[in-house]
Structure formats: structure tokens, C-alpha cells
Structure 1
Amino acid sequence: MSSLLEQLPSSTTLLSMYASFSAMAMLIRTILNEMVPKRIQNYISTKFLDLASSCLSSDFTFIIEERWQAVLNETFRAVEAYLPTRIGPFTDSLLIGSNEPLNPSAPPKQRIPVDCKIVDEFHGMRLEWTLRNSVDSNKYFPREKRYFRLNCKKGDRDRVMQCYFPHIATTARWILNQRETLNIYTYDRESSVWEPTVFKHPATFETLAMEPEVKQFIKDDLDSFVERKDFFEGVGRAWKRGYLFYGPPGTGKSSLVAAIANYLRYNIYDLQLQTARSDADLRHILTSTTNRSILLIEDIDCGTKVSHDRAKDQEDNDEQQNSNRLSSTDPGVTLSGLLNFLDGLWSSCGHERIIIFTTNHKDKLDPALLRPGRMDVHIHMGYCTPTAFRKLSATYLGIKHHPSFLTIDNLLQNITLTPAEVAQQLMKTDDPEAVLQSFIHFLEMKRNLRDDI
């Protein structure tokens, strides 16, 4: 033992060695600071720390960003729907709110706020989720970027990919199919984001004042579309369906859109073409919509000439330039840009989408918009018929049969009246008998005015 102690270096020797090493380290540091640029030093230190962290840490992190290759990330959407069901004792914060103005005592809904940690257990794995956000560096159109971080053990990485993410996707699809409320989105041009509002329109196919065979045709067409994913893939077509609702104002075009949304349980994206600065901006706007949704462009013939018949526009004004532009300050959307998303290469960026256009003047639309593949189904929304009146009477008055119906039927045959006008007359009082007599008087006045003209 004594011989071993004698072989150890003395404290003086150790101090001398430490001093030499420190001097050498300071010399090397001085040389690096003088010869190596600061940016390269930071890069080397960052890589060294990353390497050390990866070697020493037993954790693995998945990053799920909101957008993936220019479109919305469906995995992000699935996680967003799934995580509120996993709120538990380890959750450190919650975002709560209510969208029930008629039921203030209803419990608030729960959402996941930024930087909130959610802990999930799946097949013996402990999985920690965090929602983060950042703002990109685009100085012209800065956009908020949201993403989820999932931390797990390195040894669980493969099981997370093969079992956990498919479980999330399946659960999220069931949740979205069972959702109690729908959203209607409008595009905020300044923030470059879709802003949601709770959509609770009461219209259904049962309440629509339409011919029964037309309603059944639309429902059958929607059912066929939803169930034929394999067919669309087999024939090489994008899984989407285009509808055109046309007719005079007040004939129920917007109510039909609401009925379709309630029937399919699809959210609505209400787009005003004037909000798009260019074709590129339009692509970003449209690819920001989710799958299993309705893209609605109302009154496409109004406010912009992007959809107008180019031949007629040229006949009306041979000197007009760029007639399919939205404004003089922005490049605007072109007809070709809109068509490319409807039926071009960009139409494949998304699945299970309903695209609905409404117009009061179908004859003003460019023929290129009307062909199958862009607007597959054309539905004419006409004036009120006797059948439609009976439906309105049952809905508003609770009356399916009445002796005055025959008189009303005869008057409606010779008068053009929209369902909205009829509904307005049926809402005057709570007395059905008085309402029907007042309505007959109203129809007779309309007939007399027509005859006088």
C-alpha cells in the first residue's frame, strides 16, 4: 500500500499539470476567437450540444406541424380532435369557452391551449404532448405556425408510428363524425387565416320547401359521393363534388347549403373571391381548408368578373382590360387560377370535399365553369310551387291540409313568389286561420297588380 501511495503524483505536480492544461486551453480559445468567425463557432457548439444531447438522452420527439407540403396536415387535425379526450390530472392548463348563448348554464367546452402539456398512456407507453406556436419570418404575409410536440422513449418510437398514430386517426374520425356543432369559416385577409364561428343553422332536408324528388335526388347524390372513395381513386379523379345552385334571390339556395352541411356534418368554408390577392394566394387559401368540408362561393356572378362569360364581356366592352381581375391594386384572381383548383392539378390537394357555387344569373357564368368536373350537379331553385307551399305551411303553421289550400294553389299557379316571400307572410301572427286568409288577400293583390300592368 505504501509503495502505491509513493507512486502517486504529489499535489505540487498536480497543480502544475492543471496550470499547464488551463494555459493551453486559454491559448487554444484565444486562437479560435481570433481565427474562427463567431457564426462558425456557434454552429460548432450547437452541433456538439445536439450530439451530446442525442447520445445522453433516452427521449425521442415527434413534431407534427399544422401544414404539410402546402396543405393542411391531417395528422395535426386528428391530434387536435383526439387530445381533448385525454385531458387528465397531469394537464397543467386548459382553454375553455362556451358557444351556447341560449343555454348559459351549459358546461364550457375544453380546448388545448398553447404550451399546455397532455400526458397520454397507450399500451404501457407514456406519451407527453405539447402544443406550440411561432410566427414565420415572411415580412409581407406573416403567418402563425402551430405544431404539436410528442415526447416518448426512444425504444417506443416504432410502436408509436405503427400503433399509436393509427389509433389517433381512427378515434379522431369517429369524434369528427359525432361532433355536436359545426363551424362556418371566413377568411381573414389581414391575418391570412380562416376564422371559425359556430354554425347552428336549423335548415334540414325535412324543412326545405322543395319538390320531394329534387330533395331525394340531392340526398342520394351526396350519399353516393361519400361512399365512393375507392371509385374515385380507381378512375383517377379527385374525391370531390361540385354543385351549382341557381335561381332568383329568396328561393332557398343558402338554406340548401345549410341543409347539406347538417346532413353530412361537414364544416363550411365561406369564401369571398375578392379576399384573394392573386392566384397563388387563392391556392394557399383553398389548400388551408380541411378534408370532409364544404367550400362555398356564394353569388359568384356578383362583385367580380372572374367567373363572367368572357365572350359576353368582350362584346359589352371591347376596350376593357383584364376583365377577370378583382381589383386594380392587387393582381387578383384569374378564371384560369380558379379553374385550376376546381379541375386542374391542384384539385387533388384534398379529399372528400363538396364545392358549392350559388348564383342568381347562371347565364352570366363562363361556360368553362359549368362543365362536369367543375360543377357536376346543377340545381335550379325556382319560385314557390303548391308543393313547396304545403311544406312551408306544415313547418310554419303546423297545418298539412286546409280548405283554403285549393284557392292558394290556383293563385300560385299564376304568380311568381319566392319561398322567402311566402315564409314572411306565414310568420305574421300565431293564428293559422288569420294567416291563411291574409295570405290569400296578399296573393290576390299581387295578381291584380300583375293584371294592371
Structure 2
Amino acid sequence: MATRSKIPSLSTIFSLYTSLSAFTILFKTILHEILPLKIRTFIVSRFTNYFSSYFNSDFTFIVEEKCDYVTNQTFRAAEVYLPTLLAGITTGSLLVGSSNLKDPIAKPKYGIPINAKIIDEFEGIRLEWTLLSAKNESLYQSKEKRYFHLTCKKEFREKIMSDYFIYIAKLSVKILAQRESLKIHTYNSEFHVWESTIFQHHTTFETLAIEPELKNTLIRDLDAFSNGKDFFKTVGRAWKRGYLLYGPPGTGKSSLVAAIANHMCYSIYDLQLQSVQDDAMLRKILTYTENRSILLIEDVDCGGADASCREENGLWSSCVEERIIIFTTNHKEKLDPALLRPGRMDVHVLMNYCTPYVFRKLAALYLEIEEHNLFETIEKMIVEVKATPAEITEQLMVSKNPDVSLKSLVEFLESKKKMSKESEEGAEIKEA
């Protein structure tokens, strides 16, 4: 017959409890009266961390919005990737909005609200994403600091570190390349933030009215840049490409920027250098821009541009990877020589007055005609008269009737030719 274990008496249990209580009181006394506050805090925190780690089977990755003063690309990848998993959102809220100003009834887009939890699965591993926010104060901005918590079981930590983050980074690149709409960002110098809206300029290289040779050269150059990651790495250069677009107003510089953006599927950051106080602020502004984008600086011949060209750590070295930088100017001769030296602008593009080819392209776009009995007359006048594509377009839009529009264009060119002749004669009399 098995021996029955003895059950401790009530007095024994009470005695043990009294002893433990006395030890606890003594231990607290030692902590509070003998040990300094810093040491007490350290001991308590170590015990807390130990027991928390021992009993908690989860591990949490913290993905902050900024990393080394620039946009954290892992955060950016998560921001792009997670909206594709909105079916897995576990909280009872969802961001809804549309920035399509041209189509008020366009289908809204959905986003992740703060404190929302999204469930993902990777190779059988259950993952939980949470978007969080905290107040962030800095020299050039005051806004909410966003960050993600990614939680998984401890046993899968190494797998997530080695495979999952790379997986979402590659997937986000594909998503961005296939996005339906681009954005144009404008810098708000008062609040020190980039403000964005949908970029809805529909000009493409197919519809752009420029000479075929120039168009083909630009397309080849852009495609080579897009596929040039390994080349830039091999030669030790940052993955950037700079374009200087120069020529008279109305020659299509803005349209060319739009065509480049649509061809590359890059959003645009439109920066007015006049609002930049110094090089330090410029560098700070640029750290809050994204990869795979266009930095556009228009009218660079105006005040404020020169200072940015003197610092070696300024505009170029502060930009992120896979970036196209476009300067535009109406007066190339007024630019700081530092901007024109080798290494600043890779490609100089002259946007000139209208040519017969450009006129025919515009007529096909706006009037939908390939031939007309006034074409020959107009082409001869265009060779003689300096008219910009914008001026030609304005006349072509007078009427949908080709006869009316082309007649208006002929009258405009005759008037412009007459004014030019009178101006030349006046200059000759003045010189005499």
C-alpha cells in the first residue's frame, strides 16, 4: 500500500508565509536604504526584463520612419506593401480618401490608420503589423513620428531578418512600378514639410511635340539610367542623373518633365530654391524625399540657386539613390558657372522655338489632321518667325474647325513677322 504524503499543517504554512514576508521586508529595506536609486532601478529592470523575456514567446521589430536622418527604406517598403493586406486588418477602422481633384466620384483609396493591426503570413509564419505614432520635434519640422511594430514568435526572428524584410522590399518596388497615379510634392517652408497631391499631367513621349532625334536620345538615356544600377556601383558613382532644360518660355520644358515622370513612373518633388535659407536646410529638406523620384528645380537662374552650388555637400551629395534631378531655366547664360561644370548636369537639353515637324505634331494632336492646304504656308513662316510651341498651340485651340484655327495661326504669324521687322528697323535707326 502506497505511503500517503503528509499534508503540511496550517501552522507550518503560516510559519512559512511569515518567514517569506519577513525576507521580503528585509530585501525591500536593503534596496531602499542601502543601495542607491540608480542601482535599485538597474536591479529591478534586469529582473523585470528577465521574467518578461522568459514568459513572453513573442519578438517585436521596431521599424521607424527615419533611419540615419533619411527615409527608412524598410518603413517605406512596409508602407507600400501593407495596404495590399487590408483584408487582414483586425481593428475596426480604415483610412478612406481621394486626392483626385479632376474626378470627385473616383474610387477612394484605403490606408492604414494609427494603432491599426494587420495580419500577414510568410512561409507559414504568422506576423502582426501595428502602425504607431508619437510626437516628434526637430529644428526644421514638428509632426507626428510614425513607426511600425512587427511581432512574430521568437523562434522565427532569424527567418524574418534574413528573408521577410528582403521579400517586402522587392515586392514594394514592383508595386511602385505598377502604381496607377504619381504624386507631385511641394515643399511648405512655413511648416517644413512636403505636401503632395496626385500628379495628373498626361503628356507622354508619344504625345510630346519635340524633334524625333531628341525624343529618341532622351528615351535611350532614361532607359540606360533605369537599368544602370550595377554600372553606377561599378564606377563608384551615386545612382543619379541630372538634366538641364533651357530655352525661351513656352518651349515645352514643363511638358518634357511630365513626359519623363510618366515614362519612368516617378513622382515629382518641386522645390523652390528661393525658400531655402541655407545649405543645412537644403540637405535637411532632401533627406525627406524618396528614392525613384524626380527633384525638379524650375527657373534656377532666379535668386537663391547660387548658394546651393557652392557646397560640395549640398544638392547633389544629399540626394537619395535612383534619383533624377531636373533644372529648368529660360536664361542659361545667367547660370552660376558651378552649375554648368562637368559632374553637375549630365545632359543639357535645348528646348527651342517651333519647327515644321513640331507644328505638324501639334496639328495632329489638337486638330486631328495630317494634311491641309495651309500647311506649306505655315511651315515656311515658322522657319522665318520665332514662335514657341505654346504660341502655336494657343492658335490651334481657337476652334475645332481646322480651317478656322489654321487661318488664325497664319494671321498670328504674319503679325509676329511684321512686329519683328518693325523692331529690327527701329533698332537700325537708333544705331544710326
Tell me if both proteins adopt one fold, taking TM over 0.5 as the criterion. Answer: yes
Q: In 2, distance between residues paired with 1:374 and 1:27? A: 73
Q: Partners in 2 of 1:263 and 1:437 — Cα distance?
A: 35
Distance in 1, matches of 2:81 and 2:191, equals: 27
Q: Which whole-Å deviations, capped at 9, do the CAs of 1:154-202 have from their partners, x for residues lacking one?
A: 1111221222222212221111111000011112234333222110101
Q: 1:90 to 1:215 in 2, by over 3 A?
A: closer
Q: Give, in whole Å, the separation in 2 of the partners of 1:73 and 1:212.
A: 40
Name the counterpart of 2:67. 68
CA offset at residue 449 of structure 1? 1.9
* Residue aligning to 1:402: 372
- Aligned equivalent of 1:329: none
The aligned counterpart of 2:265 is: 265
Distance 1:265 1:140, change over 3 A: closer
Aligned to 2:153: 153
CA–CA separation in structure 1 for the residues paired with 2:349 and 2:198:
27
Give 1:366's aligned amino acid: D
- Counterpart mapping for 1:11-160 below 5 A: 11-12=10-11, 14-19=13-18, 21-30=20-29, 32-34=31-33, 41-92=40-91, 93-138=93-138, 141-160=141-160
SS of the residue 1:301 aligns to: coil
Asked whether the equivalents of residues 301 and 329 of structure 2 are also in contact (C-alpha less than 8 Å), the reply is yes
Q: How far 1:353 moved relative to its partner?
A: 0.9
- TM-score using structure 1 length: 0.86
Aligned residues: 421
Shift of 1:394: 0.9
Counterpart for residue 335 of structure 2? 365
Classify 1:371/1:170 alpha carbon distance in 2 versus 1 (closer, same or farther; 3 Å): same
Query: For the Cα contact (< 8 Å) 2:89–2:116, is it kept in 1?
Result: no
Distance across 2 between alignment mates of 1:136 and 1:51: 31
Q: Does the aligned pair in 2 maintain the 1:240–1:353 contact within 8 Å?
A: yes
Q: Deviations over 1:54-96 (max 9, x none)?
A: 1211111111112222222221111111111112254322211
Give the C-alpha shift of residue 41 in structure 1. 4.5
Letter paired with 2:236:
G
Q: What is the deviation of 1:138?
A: 3.7
State how 1:353-392 maps to structure 2 within 5 Å.
353-392=323-362
8 Å Cα contact 2:204-2:263 kept in structure 1 = yes
Question: Per-residue CA shift, 1:291-343, capped at 9, x if unaligned?
Answer: 11111111111132x32xxxxxxxxxxxxxxxx4xxxxxxxxx4323x43455
Rounded to whole Å, the distance in 2 between the matches of 1:88 and 1:188 is 35
1:297-308 correspondence to structure 2 within 5 Å: 297-304=297-304, 306-307=305-306
Deviation (angstroms), 1:22: 3.1
1:335 paired residue number: 309
Q: Deviations over 1:122-146 (max 9, x none)?
A: 2111000011122235477434322
- Cα deviation for residue 241 of structure 1 reads 0.5
Q: In 2, distance between residues paired with 1:275 and 1:43?
A: 49
Three-state SS of the structure 1 residue aligned to 2:220 is helix
Relative contact order: is structure 1 or structure 2 higher (C-alpha 8 Å, sep ≥ 6)?
Answer: 1
Task: Write out per-residue CA displacement over residues 249-303 of structure 1, whole angstroms, 9 at most, x where no aligned residue.
Answer: 1111111101100000001111112333332221121122111111111111113
| 2:173 counterpart letter in structure 1 | R
Moved more, 259-268 or 99-108: 99-108
Alpha-carbon distance in 2 for matches of 1:27, 1:268: 67
SS at match of 1:136: strand
1:237 aligns with 2:237: yes
- Cα RMSD (Å) of the superposition? 2.3
Q: CA deviation at 1:103?
A: 3.9
Which 5+ residue runs of structure 1 have no aligned equivalent? 308-323, 325-333
For residue 207 of structure 2, what is the amino acid of its counterpart?
T
Residue type at the aligned position of 2:392: V
For 1:370, the aligned partner's letter is L
TM-score by length of 2: 0.90
Q: How do 1:199-218 and structure 2 match up within 5 A?
A: 199-218=199-218
Distance 1:195 1:435 in 2: 40
**Shift in alpha-carbon separation, 1:86–1:260, aligned structure 2, 3 A:** same
Amino acid at match of 1:340: N
Contact conserved, 1:116 with 1:130, CA < 8 A, in 2?
yes
For structure 2, the residue ranges without an aligned partner over 5 or more in a row are 424-432
